[in-house]
Amino acid sequence: MLASVLFFSLMNALAKLLMDRFPVTEVMFFRSLFALIPVCLSIHLGKGFAATLYTRHPWGHMGRSLIGLTTMVAMFWSFHLLPLGDAIALNFAAPLFLTALSVPLLGEKVGIHRWSAVLVGFAGVLIIVQPSGDVLNLGAIIALCGALTNALAMITIRQLSRTEPPDTIVFYFTLLTTVLLGLTLPFSWVTPDPLDWLLLVAIGLLGGCGQLMLTRAYSLAPAAVVAPLNYTSLLLAVGFGWLIWSEVPTVTMAIGAAVVMASGLYILHRETRRRAAASQTLPPGDGD
């Protein structure tokens, strides 16, 4: 999950630079198109295309892709409609939705300690970005819809991972979103120059690697445990903001970051203790 956060943070920084000159859908298209390179390489080095592309759940992949595409559109759109701080704060409501949905949809048990830690983590996000009071508008609705669909995407990944390998999930998501976004290009095409092409290729490669890591993370651990690690992307965002746009972090930013990191670590601590206690109560050979 931490590797995924790094790749996606780099991708987002490049995308922010490119969206000043290119339509959102065009940037998203190349993010998906060139992401097929690391995805196909991972398949080739793994079980091969014949074994990986076979699936018993084509409609599950279609649903996951549509939800993921909706999340991507909502996230980038919210950055255009809202101040960046407001958009980030609202998009980071996803772990709250995810924690709630993981109980009825995945059957996972989330105790009061982890519920409280996630709420504290979201409070830390609000401290960092200091969203303005004027958020009840179209941009806020789009951002919250993106947070909800992001949580649903993680739920579908978790469900598909019970029978589908991570490479299979990532491949169909990347392929289907590329095709769907390609349909929009005739209506909003801007021709890239050589440097822009390099950045667009980099966005796709970073996105593909990040997606592989993300899918693998959710196949290895409960959603309510993995999701809070995404908060660490805020620290990377601060670093990129300082290096690229000369945005100097404030004391409030440092305090909020500390709260967010502490909440994520506490959730991992509680999960480790819970698993250790469960293993001790099982007879030998019955534990994971």
Task: For residues 83-103, give the mean pLDDT.
Answer: 71
Q: Is residue 194 part of a domain?
A: no
Asked whether the predicted pLDDT for residue 59 surpasses 80, the reply is yes
Total Cβ atoms within 10 A of residue 171: 25
Highest mean pLDDT among 13-17, 105-109, 191-195: 191-195
What pTM, to 2 d.p., does this model score? Answer: 0.75
C-alpha 164/C-alpha 88 separation (Å) is 31
Asked whether the predicted pLDDT for residue 190 surpasses 80, the reply is yes
Q: What pLDDT, on the 0 to 100 scale, is given for residue 218? A: 73
Question: Residue 178's pLDDT band (boundaries 50, 70, 90)?
Answer: very high
Residue with tokens 């179209």: 138
Asked whether the predicted pLDDT for residue 40 surpasses 80, the reply is yes
Which domain, by its residues, includes 107?
A: 1-185+205-273
C-alpha 106/C-alpha 183 separation (Å) is 34
Q: Which of 226, 204, 200, 222 is nearest to 214 (CA)?
A: 226
Q: Is residue 278 part of a domain?
A: no
Q: Is residue 199 part of a domain?
A: no
Q: Is residue 279 part of a domain?
A: no
Helix (H), strand (E) at residue 252? helix 251-281
Q: Which of 144, 99, 105, 101 is nearest to 118 (CA)?
A: 99
Asked whether the predicted pLDDT for residue 209 surpasses 80, the reply is yes
Domain count, the chain: 1
Alpha helices in 46-111 (DSSP H): 49-53, 58-81, 84-91, 94-106
C-alpha 288/C-alpha 286 separation (Å) is 7
Task: For residues 87-107, give the mean pLDDT.
Answer: 73
Q: What pLDDT, on the 0 to 100 scale, is given for residue 5? A: 87
Q: Is residue 195 part of a domain?
A: no
**Alpha-carbon torsion, ordered 72, 73, 78, 84, to 10 deg:** 40
Residue-wise pLDDT tens digits, 156-174:
887 887 888 878 888 898 8
Phi-psi region of 132 (alpha: psi -120 to 50; beta: other; left: phi over 0): beta
Q: Is residue 218 part of a domain?
A: yes
More confident call, 26 vs 101 = 26
How big is the chain by its Cα radius of gyration, in Å?
A: 19
Q: Is residue 280 part of a domain?
A: no
Say how far residue 47 (Cα) sits from the centre of its chain. Answer: 25
Q: Is residue 192 part of a domain?
A: no
- CA end-to-end span of the chain: 21
DSSP track, 131-194: --S---SHHHHHHHHHHHHHHHHHHHHHHHTTTS-HHHHHHHHHHHHHHHHHTTGGGS-----H
Residue-wise pLDDT tens digits, 218-250:
778 776 677 677 777 777 777 777 777 776 666
